[in-house]
Structure 1
Amino acid sequence: MAQTGADDQAVTHAKFWKKEQQDCHTIESNEAGQRLDHVLTSRYPELSRSFLASLIHSGHILVEGRQVKAAYKVRAQDSLTIVFPPSSPSPLQPERIDFPILFEDEHLLVLTKPPGLVVHPGSGQHSGTLVHGLLYRYLNLPAADADRPGIVHRLDKETSGVMLVAKNNQALRTLMAAFKNREINKTYHALLSRCPHDRQGKVIGPIARHPVHRKKMAIDERRGRYAVTTWQIVEEFANGCCLADIAIETGRTHQIRVHMASVQAAVLGDSLYGGAQGQHAWLRPQRQMLHASTLRFAHPFSGEQLCFTAPLWHDMQAVLDILRNTRL
């Protein structure tokens, strides 16, 4: 497990923006009609909704050169300008939270996130996150958002696996850009509640917030953002479950869970998208059986191609062992 810091003193993160930074975008046709704050949340998943809302309210985000409200419905080809002011010190208090370390140098950290650990504060989760644990271990971390120092991508609370953390400003900017430009390859292992019809395949389905159930995402051809998931079956089991390798070309919220459920092969243990466990209840999965297994990327300073693999978390390995022992 990670070696933790030696004291409990409050720490602050290094400023990500030394001066104002500006991004410019053009609204895509599939974003037309959406609220401005929803578009921004989709385009900047590494930033909190409250932070983006504060930028809208303060006039740091303009549509066609004018200030609008968060509920403004954007139109295709609208110009969007976002001015990011210099960040302020994080108000977060460090907490001792252990997590396995796969690699570390002066620029970045590669770790294995345990299941059940929230990545950053938000939605009523104000303590006990990975960010609090990172602040306990490191005196300074860069941040694009004061609530998310070091964070360049996320995993769902109940998803385990490999994560990448930036330790300085240049690493943060470079890695955030690499994720945005789809230059970082992510592979997952998933136990699926049933096998798809084909042993391998691809789902291309734009993803947006569910129109009714706000905690869910959904494939939405009109409002959704482009999302691609590919799968390959590795093992099949007697009860109809299977182990699959899953790769994502994009990183939308709940992407794998939504896409696999759309081909009637929901992730085992996923009550949100897979419904009641039914015939698989005897396996007693305590979470969705989804694990971020491999991350491939270029080092932000040296350019060296790196690849890191996180072993299956023990609870998922235990379910896999049960399935293997009951195989026909």
Structure 2
Amino acid sequence: MNKSTLIKIIVNKNQKEIRIDKFLKKKIKNISRNQIQKYATLGNIIVNKKIIKKNYKIKPLDFIEIKISTPTTTILDYLEYKNINAEKINLNIIHEDEDIIVINKPAGMVVHPGFGNETGTLIHGIKYYLNHSNLNNFNLYRCGLVHRLDKDTSGLLVLAKNEYSQNHLLQQFYYKTIQRKYIALIWGNLIQEKGTITGFIGRDPKNRKKMTIFKEDHKNRGKYSITHYKVLERFKYLTYIICNIKTGKTHQIRAHFKYLGHPLFHDSIYGGNKIFMKKQCSNKKIKFLNNCLKILKRQALHAISLSFIHPKNGKCHFFCPIPKDFKTVLENCRNILL
């Protein structure tokens, strides 16, 4: 996979108005006007935070950003180069049109193939689904992932069905304008009704399966991350929250609440699979909480809503219901712990 290079240019205040392809050809080495026009068509050129057309004329003090080469892993990488077999897998498709697919991913499903997950992933199912699609002139190998969910996190994912849509969505992720909301159940009684967690998130030096939060980006170990949260309900030993993530780093919500001392319910990697503050619980409450751990056998995290600008149709918003295992535990907590 090629890495992308982001080039930023501020136009001189005395610059005459000329087509952007002519201007960029003079500013960037080893690039043709045809290439520049293609980048514009794909949505890879942004001027003043807006995608422009290939015949756009630059103006004094314009702020130009252009992404060179492929900026993300595409489904082409998985389907063509890794020779992935199509598999008939039940996909819960919330919405589909000629540009995007929005899927409600169940807990337990891996998004893309990797070591130990060579079959049965969302990508295998997508290949089968698109191979049997009734769409005409659809290029299977041009759609792609623009974000992911952990295996045991349920909820909404959007996939692009063409290069233009992919780039359009990637720009929104890049500028953090996509709204992603998650519900979670965490251990303990969270002090604040709402708040923001920040920090540099990176691999835990002692355990490569875990992420950890660094207060400072020492030795470039982490990437800056932001999670906003709000309490929805309190159950004494547990707190039900909703999160709005401004950055989408690996294990972000899971690592952030572990950092606060409130790991997600039944998150085995971050210590949430054991009863929190066990000494303060009665035998009856311990039995109840153990039963809840048997019902919800994975981290209590669900991507409940997704809002973004559709590549062609403007603002759109998608919502999916709370999964049965998560919902059952919430209802049990309301009956027993309130």
Is 1:281 aligned to residue 281 of structure 2? no
Mapped to 1, the partners of 2:161 and 2:6 lie a distance apart of 26
Q: Residue 230 of structure 2 aligns with which residue?
A: 232
Identity %: 37
AA matched with 1:194: G
Rg: which structure is higher? Answer: 2
CA distance in 1, matches of 2:204, 2:3: 32
Q: What one-letter code is carried by the residue in structure 1 that aligns with 2:292?
A: L
TM-score normalised per structure 1: 0.71
82-91 or 240-249, which moves further after superposition? 82-91
Q: Kindly provide the CA deviation profile for residues 204-263 of structure 1, in whole angstroms up to 9, marking residues without a partner as x.
A: 11101111201111112222111001111101114x112101111000000000001111
User: 1:111 Cα deviation (Å)?
Assistant: 1.1
Q: How many Å separate the matches in 1 of 2:249 and 2:270?
A: 15
Write out per-residue CA displacement over residues 251-297 of structure 1, whole angstroms, 9 at most, x where no aligned residue: 00000000011111111010111244124323123000100001000
Number of residues paired by the alignment? 249
Q: How does 1:189-268 map to 2 (within 5 A)?
A: 189-220=183-214, 221=216, 222=218, 223-238=221-236, 240-268=237-265
Structure 1 vs Structure 2 CA RMSD: 2.4
C-alpha separation in 1, matches of 2:148 and 2:7: 23
| Aligned partners of 1:175 and 1:300 also within 8 Å | yes
**Unaligned stretches of 5+ residues in structure 2:** 9-66, 132-138, 276-285
Match of 2:159 in 1: 165
- Between the aligned partners of 2:7 and 2:211, the Cα distance in structure 1 is 24
On the 8 A contact 2:265/2:272 being kept in 1, the answer is no
Please list every run of 5 or more consecutive structure 1 residues that lacks an aligned counterpart in the other structure: 1-16, 27-80, 144-148
CA distance in structure 1 between the partners assigned to 2:258 and 2:91 by the alignment: 30
Structure 1 stretches of at least 4 aligned residues deviating more than 2 Å after TM superposition = 81-90, 139-143, 278-282
Tell me the distance in 2 between the aligned counterparts of 1:120 and 1:262: 28
TM-score, reference length from structure 2: 0.69
Contact 2:265 2:273 in 1 (8 A): no
What is the one-letter code of the residue matched to 2:208?
R
Match 1:184 to one of 178, 189, 205 = 178
Structure number with higher helix proportion: 2
Distance of aligned partners of 1:115 and 1:25 in 2 relative to their CA distance in 1, 3 Å threshold: farther
* Residues 1:141 and 1:175: Cα distance change in structure 2 (over 3 Å): farther
Higher RCO (CA-CA < 8 Å; seq separation 6+): 1
